[in-house]
């Protein structure tokens, strides 16, 4: 593959989503700072099995998407603020908060947080009052678990076919710091879903039901580029005044999807067909390393730090040519 510059006009950031705890509910924000490791506080926390320290996701426990984390920044606090966590009203679990950054001298250090064989560091989060996060979350999960926050040890990202010499790090994201997706892609997906109602277990409800982009858990949503336009982008810049001068964001590969987008973010109930079975009909064969998995969105690696805002202009600095 080769790359070249191209002129795309009228592309803007339409939505920014931060997911403080991996696999839990995301928060839509109007602006957010980003660094080479992703949006500030995105997937800095995760939930792990208490004994094995394996990361748990909503692929396994769908009702995780109903847990609502919220960042409350306090620059006067020695720990930067708090992470506030709440649960569905019928869960019987009380809300709690923890310092935004680990109290290293007091919290249990983890050196073996295991996410699909990738070993990372972290700390077991503790609250300043009330029941411990571990106790509350264990009641919700009905098994012993901990809330963990990422430590300072860099976690390297895998190189990709497009960037075989990639040098990047991330927190508890699946593989890369950012996920970028064009909102027009959802319009195409709606058309594909509705054309297949009554087949492969796709229910009549989808003739009227809206598929929300939050199911794909993107970080930066684009408007104006067109459906799946990011498939063709190698590098973009985002800035409210001059995107051409903003730090580049490399789109290092296409995001191969699992069954997690089938989980409804409002109910925590997985759909048996949508969107995975639909995506298998028209979005496979796009990633050379995952040819039999459907791809939606592209994984991004920022080359610097800046602030992204809803409404910011997006410049396509390089496109992919075959």
pTM, entire model: 0.95
Tell me whether residue 257 is exposed, middle or buried, using C-beta atoms within 10 angstroms of its C-beta: 0 to 12, 13 to 18, 19 or more: buried
User: Which residues neighbour 243 within 8 Å (Cβ) at sequence distance 6 or greater?
Assistant: 236, 237, 312, 313, 314, 315
Task: Evaluate whether 286 touches 84 at the Cβ level (below 8 Å).
Answer: no
Residue whose entry in the numeric block shows the structure tokens 């790359």: 3
Task: Identify the pLDDT of residue 241.
Answer: 64
Order of strands across the sheet that contains 96-99: 68-73, 81-86, 96-99
Tell me whether residue 322 is exposed, middle or buried, using C-beta atoms within 10 angstroms of its C-beta: 0 to 12, 13 to 18, 19 or more: exposed
Task: Identify the pLDDT of residue 117.
Answer: 94
Task: Identify the pLDDT of residue 64.
Answer: 98
Identify which of 23, 32, 111 has the alpha carbon closest to the alpha carbon of residue 69.
23
Distance CA 173, CA 157 (A): 10
Could you list the pLDDT tens digit for every one of the 322 residues in the chain? 444 545 577 999 999 999 999 999 999 999 999 999 999 999 999 999 999 999 999 999 999 999 999 999 998 888 889 999 999 999 999 999 999 999 999 999 999 999 999 999 999 999 988 899 999 999 999 999 999 999 999 999 999 999 999 999 999 999 999 999 999 999 999 999 999 999 999 999 999 999 999 999 999 999 999 999 999 999 999 976 665 678 999 999 999 999 999 999 999 999 999 999 999 999 999 999 999 999 999 999 999 999 999 999 999 999 998 6
Distance CA 97, CA 27 (A): 16
Task: Identify the pLDDT of residue 2.
Answer: 46
Task: Identify the pLDDT of residue 243.
Answer: 52
* Domains in the chain, CATH or no CATH each: 2-321 (2.40.33.20)
Task: Identify the pLDDT of residue 129.
Answer: 86
Task: Evaluate whether 148 touches 124 at the Cβ level (below 8 Å).
Answer: yes
According to DSSP, the residues that pair with 285 across neighbouring strands are none
Q: Are strands 295-302 and 38-39 parallel, antiparallel or unpaired?
A: unpaired
């Amino acid at each position: 593959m080769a790359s070249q510059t191209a002129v795309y006009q009228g592309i803007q950031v339409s939505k920014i989503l931060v997911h403080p705890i991996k696999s839990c509910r995301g928060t839509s924000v109007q602006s957010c700072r980003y660094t080479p490791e992703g949006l500030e506080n995105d997937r800095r926390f995760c939930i792990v099995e208490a004994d094995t320290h394996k990361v748990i996701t909503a692929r396994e426990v769908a009702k995780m998407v109903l847990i609502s984390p919220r960042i409350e920044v306090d620059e006067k606090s020695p720990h930067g603020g708090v992470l506030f966590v709440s649960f569905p009203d019928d869960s019987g679990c009380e809300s709690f908060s923890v310092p935004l950054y680990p109290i290293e001298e007091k919290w249990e250090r983890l050196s073996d947080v295991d996410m699909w064989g990738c070993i990372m560091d972290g700390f077991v989060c503790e609250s300043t009052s009330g029941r411990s996060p571990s106790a509350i979350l264990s009641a919700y999960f009905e098994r012993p678990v901990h809330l963990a926050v990422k430590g300072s040890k860099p976690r390297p990202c895998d190189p990709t076919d497009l960037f075989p010499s990639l040098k990047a790090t991330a927190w508890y994201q699946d593989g890369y710091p950012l996920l970028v997706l064009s909102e027009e892609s959802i319009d195409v997906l709606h058309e594909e879903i509705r054309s297949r109602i009554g087949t492969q277990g796709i229910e009549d409800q989808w003739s009227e039901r809206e598929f929300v982009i939050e199911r794909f858990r993107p970080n930066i949503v684009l408007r104006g580029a067109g459906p799946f336009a990011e498939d063709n982008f190698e590098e973009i810049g985002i800035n409210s005044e001059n995107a051409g001068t903003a730090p580049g964001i490399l789109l290092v590969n296409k995001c191969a999807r699992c069954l997690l987008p089938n989980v409804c973010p409002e109910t925590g109930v997985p759909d048996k067909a949508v969107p995975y079975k639909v995506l298998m009909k028209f979005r496979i064969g796009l990633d050379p390393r995952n040819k039999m998995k459907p791809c939606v969105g592209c994984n991004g690696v920022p080359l610097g730090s800046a602030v992204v805002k809803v409404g910011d202009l997006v410049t396509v600095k390089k496109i992919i040519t075959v």
